[in-house]
Amino acid sequence: MIATAEPGMRRRRLGASRDDLIMRLGLGVGFLLLTLTVVAPLATLLVKAFQDRAGGFVGLANFLAYAESPALLRSLHHSLFVALLATAICVTLAFAFAWCLTRSCMPAKGLFRAVALVPILAPSLLPAISLVYLFGNQGLLKGLLFGASIYGPIGIVMGEVFWTFPHALIILLTAFATADQRLYEAAESLRAGRLRTFFAVTLPGVRYGLISAAFVVFTLVITDFGVPKVIGGHYNVLATDVYKQVIGQQNFQMGAVVGLILLVPAALAFVADRFAAGRQVALLGARSVPLAPKPSPAVDAAAALFCTAVAVVIVGIIAVAAFAASIKLWPYDLSFTLGHFDFDNVDGGGWGSYRNSLTLAGWSALLGSLFVFTLAFLVEKTRGLRWLGAATQLLALLPLAVPGIVLGLAYIFFFNAPANPLGAIYGTMAILVLNTIVHFYAVAHLTAITQLKQLDPEFETVAVSLKVPIWRSFLSVTLPVSLPTVFEIALYLFVNAMTTVSGVVFLYSPDTTLASVAVLNMDDAGDTAPAAAMALLIFTTSAAVRIVHTLVTRGLLARTQAWRRRITEAPREA
Amino acid sequence: MVTLADVPVPVGAAMPRPEAFLRLVDIAKQFGRFTALHGISLEVFKGEFICCVGPSGCGKTTLLRIIAGLDAQTTGQVFQAGAEISALPAARRDFGIVFQSYALFPNLTVARNVAFGIENRGLARLRVRERVAELLDLVGLAEQADKFPAQLSGGQQQRVALARALAPAPSLLLLDEPLSALDAQVRARLRGEIRALQRRLGVTTVMVTHDQEEALTMADRIVVMAQGRIDQIGTPEQVYRHPATPFVAEFLGRMNVLPGRRLPGDRVAVGDVTLHCAAGACEGTTETVTLCIRPEDIAIGRASGDCANMVSARVERLEFMGSYYTAHLAPRGIAAPLEADLSAQAVRDLALRPGEWVEAALPRDRLRVFFGWPR
Ligand SMILES: Nc1ncnc2c1ncn2[C@@H]1O[C@H](COP(=O)(O)OP(=O)(O)OP(=O)(O)O)[C@@H](O)[C@H]1O
Ligand SMILES: [Mg+2]
């Protein structure tokens, strides 16, 4: 035995390097910011639910008052039914669609992908308006419902599936995109058939994405109030209850109560997702070989057929809105007009609200994507302070369990409190930007984390051994490799800022009216055609930005992602 | 147990023992209630090539990560170049590392991967470029400088990772199963290349592997680990010829293992046969012993001379191994089977066939005796 210099029995810890300190500091700042913008407002909301209008503590009185109305159980039942049905339909369709896009050799993949993502560019009010034109009392296709009414669960589910489809698709595409060719080659060499390969390689590879997608869709549906507001008729759901209490009756306390109830299903789904996420493993290393699907005429034809059907429905719904926006008076005068775009003549804020929406979307995308990705990196890679990383992760995902409508309400309570020095931003564009980034934080964060998990975990270790500061490996490896994901996040934030209603509906001021809210207000006031026109304008803007994004990303992929192209004639081992 | 006397003098040093370059003192590592490493002590001398070898899960990677400062040991100390570095984070230690996954940066070309650790360090651009070219030359990849990692074969990627680790001229090189993702031929060639490179640069190297052949062919000294403990440290010849434990004996190379009972006068009874051992080899405490002998140490003949340690055995099977044969023998009076290696020449000369009887000689100086019966 080599003699021991000292007993050395005390538990050892490694000292922190400068990088470690910088990262921990960054993580701490991120944690504080999220606490201030997520936890504090929600806490205020929680307090509010236990107060009367004057601010006195009343215990559970508000809850009891609500529970005594049978409307609650009915709305809850409605919400769950609609959300589960829409989730099942939406995730199934999105899974099949994602598979076709990544694993088949059908033609026109780029076009199908573009069309499938189209609904994300429109406010949820748009499909609802279109469905009214299609299946409403004077609808074009009313006969297809065989007497059933579109105003109710049928309309809500249809509208929600349309609107949430791209959300599920994006998550599943990311999951599908990380396949390693070698796994498939291995399966093939083991004579596994298509079906066996699917269950042994494909499904496990996207399992995490599948669970995430279901979770996201369920939460989006149960918390959305745009679709049920327009097409729900008398079919009440939780989200419309909050809206009615707050906007209709100015009953903030009761709004807070319903908001808290709305948190429950979203939170349950959230917990389930976290459980599943713990099992994710790194899939894409430098040595992975990107998957190149092999042609198979029958499969490719079936895939093309399926995708065409989905694409036709999507394009159809947008076309109906465009149609509604550009004819004089449905169904009596079908002549063409641009008159519905003269927003300054109807209530809702006019063209100014459109400009405000652009400002909001721009800032949200720029600040949001950089902040989200950087904080996700810190959460994933900071050594030491594990509890802080875990806590920040939890806060970053928390918004997913918080319906936009609840978050908006919480922001009123928190930022409008007289004692709050941050109250200065109340009524300004800043609070709208903040609310929007926070509202959509979780999906953006998950996208960033999923990307980071796919990178080889030893990248940072190697950088450390080479004495390269962490920011340099972040800037020259992690960020460039992840740039498509960062752009995806920016686009996601931009488009959601353009289209969202639920978060900002409580927060806009006369100076900061927004286009999406204008759609809601115009539809409410019976100006359906201008509402369709504004919805279409939002859609067109989002679409234009999406196209620019695609072009930029393509140029970028060509330049910085050259490594993804596998050169088949690369020399094998000599 | 391993004693200091077992630790050989490093290559090329006939003078008094120099100070160890890397010294681990009583390192232990606990994961929750599971102890991955128990009191590991090890000295590595400057310029040495050390292989840590052991079965999967014995704690090799854990040990390497502790040396690198990527994980903290639970107790114990690490010294490098005379200074204690037990609590230094990886960023403040001096080492280069190559992983089984290589972890090459996929968006950077081969040249930029290699340059990664030497750029932005106040080194002139020209000098960086020269150094990169020098290293790529060294690993034979000068032509591939502008390719991306995904465009290289596994062996080439491995060499890029090596060049990248060596670029800042670290004083310690750590390799975690660097060859295990490669096929046998490439692996065999790279073994030689890595070893030659290491000699040329004189960089102290600790390599972790579970491939005993790799360890035997590459190392100056081998550290054999099992279940979080070091079983033996020694040159390849030492651990191969004089394994310290039955585990080492069986893990490194092939070994015939015979259970026996100690008799007076340096003799051991194995089944009905009595074997003679080297003088003093049988002085131990227990009655039961384990006899070990390597297949290549058994001599096979036809003559049934009555000399010591001759055992009659039936040839069960002859296994063609390329340059030699392995005869699977069923010795008379011994329950355990024996394996013996013969040259192709010997097989021809003896006209050996399965089912025949031969005489196997177990030379007494090749018999290793371990006390107790491990299984
Ligand atoms: N982070 C960890 N948490 C808990 N246990 C761990 C952890 N890392 C390693 N272990 C355990 O410690 C033991 C040693 O692991 P280690 O990775 O060092 O093995 P190894 O010798 O490198 O094996 P292999 O040859 O398979 O790479 C194993 O039993 C492993 O399960
Ligand atoms: Mg290992």
Residues A473-527 have pLDDT tens digits of 899 888 888 888 899 899 999 999 999 888 888 899 888 999 999 998 898 888 8
Residue A298 CB burial class (10 angstroms; 0-12, 13-18, ≥19): exposed
* Mean pLDDT lowest among A537-541, B156-160, B287-291: B287-291
Encode pLDDT of B333-366 as tens digits: 888 899 999 888 888 888 888 888 888 888 888 8
pLDDT of residue A564: 56
Query: Does ligand 1 come within 6 angstroms of the Cβ of B61?
Result: yes
Encode pLDDT of A341-360 as tens digits: 887 777 767 888 999 999 99
Question: Separation of B126 CA from ligand 2 center, angstroms?
Answer: 38
3-state secondary structure of A455: coil
Q: Compute the average pLDDT of residues A209-222.
A: 85
Taking phi first (over 0 means left), then psi (-120 to 50 degrees means alpha), and beta for anything else, what does residue A389 get? Answer: alpha
| Neighbouring C-beta atoms of residue A85, cutoff 10 Å | 17
Ligand 1 pocket test target in B35, B38, B40, B62 with most atoms within 8 Å of CB? B62
Amino acid occupying residue A269 = A
Longest CA–CA separation in chain A, Å: 100
Encode pLDDT of B87-129 as tens digits: 888 888 999 999 888 888 888 889 999 999 888 777 788 888 9
> Two tokens at A489?
């996040």
* Alpha carbon distance B130, B142 (integer Å): 12
* Spatial CA neighbour of A125 closest among A532, A545, A526: A532
Encode pLDDT of A363-380 as tens digits: 999 999 999 999 999 998
pLDDT of residue B322: 85
For residue A72, CA distances in Å to A63, A77, A242 come to: 11, 8, 11
Q: Compute the average pLDDT of residues A288-304.
A: 81
- pLDDT higher than threshold 60 for residue A383: yes
A464 contacts B96? CB cut-off 8 A: no
Confidence of residue A434 (pLDDT cuts 50, 70, 90): very high
pLDDT of residue A403: 80
Nearest chain B residue to A9 by CA: give it.
Answer: B75
Give the position, in ligand 1's atom list, of the atom nearest the Cα of B210: 25
Report the residue count for chain B.
Answer: 375
Confidence of residue B373 (pLDDT cuts 50, 70, 90): low
pLDDT of residue B16: 56
The residue nearest atom 16 of ligand 1, judged by CA position, is: B59
Q: Compute the average pLDDT of residues A49-78.
A: 83
* Alpha carbon distance B345, A230 (integer Å): 93
The residue nearest atom 18 of ligand 1, judged by CA position, is: B59
The residue nearest atom 14 of ligand 1, judged by CA position, is: B59
- Beta bridge partners of residue B79, listed in sequence order: B23, B84
**B355 — contact with chain A (CB < 8 Å)?**
no
Query: Does ligand 1 come within 6 angstroms of the Cβ of B57?
Result: yes
Nearest to A464 among B71, B91, B164 (CB): B91
Phi first, then psi, for residue B296 (nearest 5°) are -75, -10
Give the position, in ligand 1's atom list, of the atom nearest the Cα of B55: 25
3-state secondary structure of A295: coil
pLDDT of residue A567: 41
pLDDT of residue A279: 54
Q: How far B318 CA sits from the closest chain A CA (Å)?
A: 32
> Two tokens at B264?
């007076």
Confidence of residue B15 (pLDDT cuts 50, 70, 90): low
Evaluate whether B22 touches B206 at the Cβ level (below 8 Å): yes
Contacts of A261 (CB under 8 A, 6+ apart): A66, A72, A76, A238
pLDDT of residue A501: 86
| B164 contacts in chain A (CB < 8 Å) | 462, 466
- pLDDT higher than threshold 60 for residue A9: no
pLDDT of residue A277: 59
Evaluate whether B76 touches B28 at the Cβ level (below 8 Å): yes
Q: Which domains does chain A have, with CATH numbers?
A: 1-48+350-509 (1.10.3720.10), 59-279+295-316 (1.10.3720.10)
Q: Compute the average pLDDT of residues A462-472.
A: 88
* Alpha carbon distance A92, A74 (integer Å): 27
pLDDT of residue B307: 63
B151 contacts A570? CB cut-off 8 A: yes
pLDDT of residue A10: 55
B108 contacts A477? CB cut-off 8 A: yes
For residue B225, CA distances in Å to A294, B38, B42, B45, B54 come to: 46, 11, 12, 19, 5
* Spatial CA neighbour of B143 closest among B151, A565, A290, B98: B151
Phi first, then psi, for residue A182 (nearest 5°) are -65, -30
Give the position, in ligand 1's atom list, of the atom nearest the Cα of B32: 4
- A331: cis peptide before it, omega within 30°? yes
**A458 — contact with chain B (CB < 8 Å)?**
yes
The residue nearest atom 6 of ligand 1, judged by CA position, is: B31
pTM over 0.90: no
pLDDT of residue A278: 56
Encode pLDDT of A73-117 as tens digits: 788 889 989 999 999 999 999 999 999 998 888 988 989 998 998
Evaluate whether B193 touches B224 at the Cβ level (below 8 Å): no
Query: Does ligand 1 come within 6 angstroms of the Cβ of B180?
Result: no
> Two tokens at A18?
């400068």
Confidence of residue A34 (pLDDT cuts 50, 70, 90): very high
Evaluate whether B156 touches B141 at the Cβ level (below 8 Å): yes
- pLDDT higher than threshold 80 for residue A204: no
CA atoms within 13 Å, Cβ hemisphere of B154:
17
How many helices (H) and strands (E) chain A has is answered by 24, 2
What is the H or E stretch that residue A327 is in?
Answer: strand A327-329
Residue with tokens 């060719």: A181
Report the residue count for chain A.
Answer: 574
Which has more pLDDT, A14 or A500?
A500
Confidence of residue B140 (pLDDT cuts 50, 70, 90): confident
| B101 contacts in chain A (CB < 8 Å) | 285-287, 456, 458
| A12 contacts in chain B (CB < 8 Å) | 72-76, 86-87
Q: Compute the average pLDDT of residues A407-422.
A: 88
* Mean pLDDT lowest among A19-23, A262-266, A420-424, B197-201: A262-266
**Which stretch, A520-529, A553-562, B28-37, has highest mean pLDDT?**
B28-37
Nearest to A477 among B68, B102, B105 (CB): B105
* Mean pLDDT lowest among A28-37, B48-57, B120-129: B120-129
The residue nearest atom 25 of ligand 1, judged by CA position, is: B56
pLDDT of residue A402: 83
Query: Does ligand 1 come within 6 angstroms of the Cβ of B31?
Result: yes
Encode pLDDT of B69-84 as tens digits: 888 899 999 999 989 9
B97 contacts A11? CB cut-off 8 A: no
* Mean pLDDT lowest among A75-79, A256-260, A339-343, B13-17: B13-17
B89 contacts A561? CB cut-off 8 A: no
Amino acid occupying residue B330 = A
Q: Which ligand is the nearest neighbour of the Cα of B226?
A: 1
Give the position, in ligand 1's atom list, of the atom nearest the Cα of B225: 21
- pLDDT higher than threshold 80 for residue B375: no
Residue with tokens 């990088």: A19
Phi first, then psi, for residue A395 (nearest 5°) are -65, -40
For residue A363, CA distances in Å to A39, A159, A192, A370 come to: 23, 29, 50, 11
Confidence of residue A398 (pLDDT cuts 50, 70, 90): confident
Evaluate whether A273 touches A215 at the Cβ level (below 8 Å): yes
- pLDDT higher than threshold 60 for residue B210: yes
- pLDDT higher than threshold 70 for residue A287: no
3-state secondary structure of A68: coil
| A1 contacts in chain B (CB < 8 Å) | 1-3, 41
HEC letters along chain B: CCCHHHCCCCCCCCCCCCCCCEEEEEEEEEECCEEEEEEEEEEECCCCEEEEECCCCCCHHHHHHHHHCCCCCCEEEEEECCEECCCCCHHHCCCEEECCCCCCCCCCCHHHHHHCCCCCCCCCHHHHHHHHHHHHHHCCCHHHCCCCHHHCCHHHHHHHHHHHHHCCCCCEEEEECCCCCCCHHHHHHHHHHHHHHHHHHCCEEEEEECCHHHHHHHCCEEEEEECCEEEEEECHHHHHHCCCCHHHHHHCCCCEEEEEEEECCCEEEECCEEEECCCCCCCCCCCEEEEEECHHHCEEECCCCCCCCEEEEEEEEEEECCCEEEEEEEECCCCCCEEEEEEHHHHHHHCCCCCCEEEEECCHHHCEEEECCCC
B69 contacts A573? CB cut-off 8 A: no
A1 contacts B2? CB cut-off 8 A: yes
Evaluate whether A504 touches A437 at the Cβ level (below 8 Å): no
* Alpha carbon distance A463, A466 (integer Å): 5
Interface mutation target, options A14, A21, A180, A559, chain B, most CBs of B under 10 Å: A14
Which has more pLDDT, A284 or B322?
B322
* Alpha carbon distance B271, B291 (integer Å): 12
**A550-554: long-range contacts at Cβ-Cβ below 8 A with a sequence spacing of 24 or more?**
A550/A114, A552/A487, A553/A484, A553/A487
Evaluate whether B96 touches B170 at the Cβ level (below 8 Å): yes
> Two tokens at B33?
């209630």
- pLDDT higher than threshold 90 for residue B224: yes
The residue nearest atom 12 of ligand 1, judged by CA position, is: B36
Confidence of residue A275 (pLDDT cuts 50, 70, 90): low
**A285 — contact with chain B (CB < 8 Å)?**
yes
Nearest chain A residue to B30 by CA: give it.
Answer: A11
- pLDDT higher than threshold 90 for residue A176: no
Confidence of residue A124 (pLDDT cuts 50, 70, 90): confident
* Alpha carbon distance A447, B247 (integer Å): 49
Q: How many CB pairs under 8 A join A and B?
A: 156
**Which stretch, A263-272, B258-267, B302-311, has highest mean pLDDT?**
B258-267
> Two tokens at A102?
């990544």
* Alpha carbon distance B148, B160 (integer Å): 11
- pLDDT higher than threshold 80 for residue B323: yes
